[in-house]
Amino acid sequence: MPENGQEKHPHIPGRQILDRIVLGGSDGVIECVAMTAALNGASIVPGTILIAGIAFALAGGVSMFFSNYLSRRSELDTLRIDVEREKMEIETEPEEEKAELEELLKKEGYVQKEVDTIMSRLTKDKEMWLRAQLMHELRVNIEDLETDPLSRSASAGVAFLLSALVAIAPYYWGIGGVPALAISALLSAFTLFALGSRAFTLRTFRVRTGLESAAVGVSAALVLYVIGVAISAL
């Protein structure tokens, strides 16, 4: 039995941050390996591919940061509006809100006696009632208002930048042609496997998901390489 109320199987800490890292990192490595593979296939010299890859990684990282930040700010603004509206409705239309929540609870499988007990408790505490209304009606948690959009956005942006730089490593070494493509694809596949399988959190390590992510990255590189070869032949 867990001691002092401690959960036996704790949840992953910083889940939202890890999700942003996986998203940003996966996007960065896939997009950069595909872009550099296309340039490689078009017979662009390694030095030029390196400069283009670095520029792409920096631009993509900044774009990933701001797009995530603006998106999260918009989500939080919408959540604040929802919270204020539900507060107003609980104050001005308590019977309608109560009936609505009762129906939602019944749809989730609670019987009438259980619903009556729950509603009796909730209606005595409007803050608790508000949380329940938001959770059951809108599927959101008021605690989400406390999240920091900067940390999540920065995680995604930095992950994009670092992962994208992995794909251009062979061009930094001055390698070009098929050898560069092979090394870039191998490094990218390894990075995608680590991100997709969540190798950094052993409790959620999934080999199949990692292999699928790696296959996507390698496939993208090969397809864009062929396209680059075709373009250079025109």
Domain residue ranges of the chain, discontinuous segments joined by +: 15-232
What pLDDT was estimated at residue 221?
76
**Tell me, what's the pLDDT at 61?**
93
Residue 4 banded pLDDT, cuts 50, 70, 90: low
- Of 64, 61, 35, residue with least CA distance to 49: 35
Helix ranges restricted to H, the chain: 15-41, 46-92, 94-107, 112-122, 126-133, 149-167, 169-172, 177-197, 207-232
Q: What is the pLDDT of residue 204?
A: 65
Q: Has residue 228 got a pLDDT over 80?
A: no
Give tens-digit pLDDT for 8-36: 444 444 567 888 888 888 888 888 888 88
Shortest CA distance to 105 belongs to which of 88, 91, 120, 87?
120
**In contact, 74 and 222? CB cutoff 8 Å:** no
Q: Enter the tokens of residue 51.
A: 């400069």
Q: Is the pLDDT of residue 192 over 60?
A: yes
Phi-psi region of 43 (alpha: psi -120 to 50; beta: other; left: phi over 0): left
C-alpha span between 154 and 14 (Å, rounded): 14
Measured CA distances, 202 to 110, 117, 206, 207, 213 (Å): 36, 41, 9, 11, 17
Q: How confident is the model at residue 158 (pLDDT cuts 50, 70, 90)?
A: very high
pLDDT tens column, 44-86: 888 899 999 999 999 999 999 999 899 888 888 888 888 888 8
